[in-house]
Amino acid sequence: MVKDDCIFCKIANGQIPSATIYETTEFRAFLDVSPANRGHALIIPKQHFDNVFMLDDETAGKIFSVVPAIARAIQEETGCEGMNILQNNGAVAGQTVNHFHIHFVPRTKGDNVSVTWKQGEADKDDSVKLAQAIKNRL
Ligand code: AMP
Ligand code: ZN
């Protein structure tokens, strides 16, 4: 499925140009137009899925299977010391483009990129109940 008003669907099919680093019939990876760091890239399925909640297992398996190779290629080329691989789902989680994508954010010591959060404290009783409740859904 392709969505008419989706910018990443247009990038996927080449209607909007992108600095592509990897492409198959099903996926495209390209450099982020507003990178957090040099080499910041995204990989998308060419089919439209709003977010991870909509993604099917087969597409998920395939897209995540190419993550290590892309990460290594970016690392080798940029010489980054580390990398954050992350993806956002829903506006509340920072998603701005509603077409599933995975970020590759190269990191170097002293850069100004921040993807951290203040650590909370788990309620032990709730954790036991919550873990079981989630497990029951899987
Ligand atoms: P997110 O906030 O997780 O939805 O990430 C969306 C990302 O897409 C942001 O990092 C944007 O800079 C990036 N982006 C938006 N439009 C384009 C574009 N035309 N080409 C490349 N990257 C884009
Ligand atoms: Zn799309």
Residue 2 falls inside a structural domain: no
Residue 1 lies in a domain: no
Please count the helices (runs of H) and the strands (runs of E) in the chain: 4, 5
Half-sphere exposure of 10 (CA within 13 A, CB side): 9
Size (the chain), residues:
138
Within a domain: 91? yes
Atom 12 (ligand 1) nearest CA:
34
Radius of gyration of the chain from its Cα atoms, rounded to whole angstroms: 17
Domain count, the chain: 1
CATH number at residue 21: 3.30.428.10
What is the distance, to the nearest Å, from the Cα of residue 128 to the centroid of all Cα atoms in its chain? Answer: 29
> Residues near ligand 1 with C-beta < 6 Å?
7, 11, 16, 18, 32-34, 42, 88, 94-97
Domain membership of residue 39 (yes or no) is: yes
Q: Could you tell me if 8 and 44 are in contact, meaning their C-beta atoms sit under 8 angstroms apart?
A: yes
Structure-block tokens of residue 49:
């899925």
pLDDT in tens, 32-60: 999 999 999 999 999 999 999 999 999 99
pLDDT (mean) for 21-26: 98
13 falls within a domain: yes
Could you tell me if residue 63 is inside a domain?
Answer: yes
Three-state secondary structure call for residue 126? helix
C-alpha to C-alpha distances, 81 to 21, 53, 121, nearest whole angstrom:
20, 31, 30
Residue 106 pLDDT greater than 90, yes or no: yes
User: Dihedral (C-alpha) 29, 34, 39, 42: value to the nearest 10 degrees?
Assistant: -20
Question: Domain for residue 21, yes or no?
Answer: yes
**Active-site annotation holder among 40, 48, 99, 101:** 101
Whether 119 is in a domain gets the answer yes
Which positions ≥6 away from 54 have C-beta within 8 Å? 100
Q: Residue 1: pLDDT above 90?
A: no
pTM above 0.95, yes or no: yes
Write out pLDDT tens, residues 60-72. Answer: 999 999 999 999 9
Instruction: Give the domain extent around 61.
Output: 7-137
Share of the chain above pLDDT 90, in %: 98
